[in-house]
Amino acid sequence: MNRFHCCATCQHFRSLKIEDGMQYVCERLGYETKPVYQFTCWSPTEKVKKLIKKEANK
């Protein structure tokens, strides 16, 4: 894994503002999650893909 791998950098991660604060959901799976969780179904956003590629080229 790499240092970017977490739910918050996945294209399916959604943040929802609720009355008590924030709720984080995996839109693909339909489950509540947390930004720092890691799963093998991780699909990074385009921005994160570019950062990973940039780091690999150092």
Interval 29-47: pLDDT, tens: 999 999 999 999 999 999 9
Q: Which residue has the tokens 């009355």?
A: 19
Q: What is the value of pTM for the model shown?
A: 0.84
Dist. CA 25–CA 45, nearest whole Å: 15
Residue 11 main-chain phi, psi, to 5 deg: -70, -15
pLDDT band at 2 (very low <50, low <70, confident <90, very high): confident
Given a cut of 80, whether residue 1 has pLDDT beyond it is no
What pLDDT score was predicted for residue 9?
A: 97
DSSP class of 6: S
**Cβ atoms of residues 27 and 15 within 8 Å:** no
3-state secondary structure of 52: helix
